[in-house]
Amino acid sequence: QDQLQQKIICPGPVTCLTASPNGLYILAGVAESIYLWEVSNGNLLAILNRHYQDLTCLCFTDDSSHFLSGAKDCLALVWNLYSVLQAEPSQIPDPRHVWSRHSLPITDLCCGFGGPLARAATASLDQTAKLWEISSGELLLSVLFDVGIMAVTLDLSEYHMFCGGMDGSIFQVDLCAWPVQGDRTFQTERENGKVFKGHRNQVTCLSVSTDGSLLLSGSHDETVRLWDIQSKQCLKTMNHKGPVTNAFIVLAPANMFNPDGKPSVPLPKFSKHLHGTESNDEQGSEGVTLRLGLHQQESGESYLEKAERMYSQMYSTREKNLVGDQEHLTIQVSELEEEVSTLRKINKNLFDFS
């Protein structure tokens, strides 16, 4: 019997939850608000209120620089983490993109590889799954099905998009099919070899193995199924007591099978109040708030502002295709090299300090 290691009380029922890949931040959807906590000290860093109805899904990009949120208001928002972190507590930062092309609630989000240059997939009850480019915010592909889509995921190479339907079907969409079409209709009869059939109720979650050969699916029919992607055969069925709400494939941690393997650093209690707004009685006197770039505040931009500018440059390079403009690129390269040396210096200072 697994023992409860910690119980963290949240401001309301949590509808979706995710952690940044670098392990520094936790995001939770509570009603129509997004709560952002810092894992190491439990500080509540931001409450984002830009959705009009309850949150349904949250996910980070693989480099933890951006995160996406989807809700019942049919909107999917792309947020820059740096912008959120450096915003004043009184103001709500603007999302980088607002995707409003769905006509019914968003049910799932999935982010590919590439950080700010990645592609993201959204699923909705409007019977479509859409593929977007995070850098430009453009819609790359929209696929129409004959059922509402509850779950979506991409394989590691992003050759295929897998979509789970309300009727229990799982559809495989080829992203490299020719000719390239912005709008596509998935016709089940014609594409019979690209449907996984077995679930008897809506599919709630999908996950592809790292080698791209296996697909894991969970459903409200109280089963989790493991599929061979090539043959579309179900290899294994695991029964549960009650509807399955989430399931995913993850690389096993090194100490997973060690009986004494417990987290070496216990989680702090997550704060219910925004960081900096607590009264002096509640806030302990111990602890240090470290703000990078504070020493150069008068002379210019802070570290976070510089990081934000670098990301903007990456976007502009992708969007304007500045390959021909050699002089501009040379300036950008020198700025990035300067940024790397600054980071090395900061890293060395932190190392010496610790």
Phi, psi of 352 (to 5 degrees): -65, -40
Statement to judge: residues 64 and 168 lie in one domain: yes
**Is 21 in a helix, a strand, or coil?**
coil
**Residue-wise pLDDT tens digits, 3-39:** 677 788 888 899 999 999 988 999 999 999 999 999 8
Please tell me which residue, 131 or 304, carries the higher pLDDT value.
131
Domain count, the chain: 2
In a domain, 4, yes or no: no
User: Do 232 and 309 belong to one domain?
Assistant: no
Helix (H) / strand (E) element for 56: namely: strand 55-60
> Residue 174's domain is classified under what CATH number?
2.130.10.10
User: Is residue 332 located within the same domain as residue 193?
Assistant: no
% of the chain exceeding 70 in pLDDT: 87
pLDDT the model gives residue 198: 93
> In terms of domains, do 221 and 90 share one?
yes
- For 318-339, b/e burial (b = at least 16 CB within 10 A) is eeeeeeeeeeeeeebeeeeeee
In a domain, 287, yes or no: no
pLDDT at 126 (0 to 100):
95
Q: Identify the weakest region by mean pLDDT among 208-222, 242-256, 273-287, 323-337.
A: 273-287
Task: Let me know whether 51 and 150 are in one domain.
Answer: yes
Same-domain status, 183 and 317: no
Residues 210 and 308 in one domain: no
Confidence of residue 192 (pLDDT cuts 50, 70, 90): low
Residue 279's pLDDT band, with cuts at 50, 70 and 90, is very low
The C-alpha atoms of residue 98 and residue 106 are separated, in whole angstroms, by: 13
Orientation of helix 303-320 relative to helix 326-353, angle to 10°? 150
Please give the residue that has the higher pLDDT: either 335 or 265. Answer: 335
Q: pLDDT category, 105, cuts 50, 70, 90?
A: very high
- The residue from 188, 207, 239 where one domain ends is 239
pLDDT at 300: 66
Residue 215 is predicted with a pLDDT of 96
Q: What is the pLDDT of residue 289?
A: 54
Reduced to 3 states (helix: H, G, I; strand: E, B; else coil), residue 42 is: coil
* Residue 324, pLDDT above cutoff 60: no
Q: Are residues 308 and 174 in the same domain?
A: no
Q: Are residues 187 and 309 in the same domain?
A: no
DSSP result, 211-235: TSSEEEEEETTSEEEEEETTTTEEE
- Contacts of 166-169 with C-beta under 8 Å, sequence gap 24+, read 166/125, 166/202, 167/202, 168/197, 168/198, 168/199, 168/200, 168/201, 168/202, 168/203, 168/219, 168/221, 169/195, 169/196, 169/197, 169/199, 169/203
Number of other CB atoms surrounding residue 138 within 10 Å: 13
Residue 318, pLDDT score: 56
Confidence of residue 178 (pLDDT cuts 50, 70, 90): confident
Classify residue 245: in a domain, yes or no: no
For residues 340 and 204, state if they share a domain. Answer: no
Looking at residue 282, what is its pLDDT?
A: 45
Over 50: is that where the pLDDT of 284 sits?
no
Q: Are 126 and 53 members of one domain?
A: yes
Distance between CA atoms of residues 32 and 50, nearest Å:
8
pLDDT band at 280 (very low <50, low <70, confident <90, very high): very low
Residue 122 lies in a domain: yes
Range of the domain at 318: 253-258+304-353
43-85 pLDDT, tens digit per residue, is: 999 999 999 999 999 999 999 999 999 999 999 999 999 999 9
| Residue 26 belongs to some domain of the structure | yes
Its pTM stands at 0.77
What the block records as the tokens of 297 is 């505040």
Give the C-alpha separation, 17 to 58, whole Å: 7
The mean predicted confidence, pLDDT, of the chain is: 85
Same domain? 214 vs 121: yes
- Average confidence (pLDDT) over 310-333: 68
Coil, strand, or helix at residue 309? helix
Q: What is the mean pLDDT of residues 307-334?
A: 70
Report how far apart, in Å, the C-alpha atoms of 136 and of each of 13, 85, 120, 338 are: 34, 22, 12, 26
* Domain assignment present for 327: yes
Q: Is the pLDDT of residue 144 over 60?
A: yes
Question: What confidence tier does 287 reach under pLDDT thresholds 50, 70, 90?
Answer: low
